[in-house]
Amino acid sequence: MNVTTDNVDGKLTLTIAMGEKFDFSQVESFRSAYQDLDEGVRHIAVDLGKTEYMDSSALGMLLNMQKVLSERTLTYSIENSRPPVERILKISRFDKKFSIC
């Protein structure tokens, strides 16, 4: 189980939960998690609570998700990051594009 999705808040939020590794091997799974996004979704939360390793391709996948969905009015958050992963996100200035909580 590397990538799972769940609709919450009356299906207004799509949560994409990543597994231990968020790297290039997850590109297809991550893309398919948001590819057929329901029209009612207003927020996408990427849950990194289980993620211990994240590389630069994961950062690119997050940016690509925003680009692909740019015609939609959505907000984004990255949630439950462990300290090493959160450090990578902040060093890469992802706190400017995503709400990190």
Instruction: Give the C-alpha distances (Å, rounded to integers) separating 22 from 12, 41, 50.
Output: 25, 23, 10
**What mean pLDDT is reported for the chain?**
94
Band of residue 7 on the pLDDT scale cut at 50, 70, 90: confident
Domains in the chain and their CATH numbers? 3-100 (3.30.750.24)
pLDDT at 95: 94
> Residue 89: exposed, middle, or buried by beta-carbon count in 10 A (0-12, 13-18, 19+)?
buried
Tens digits of residue pLDDT in 25-64? 999 999 999 999 999 999 999 999 999 999 999 999 999 9
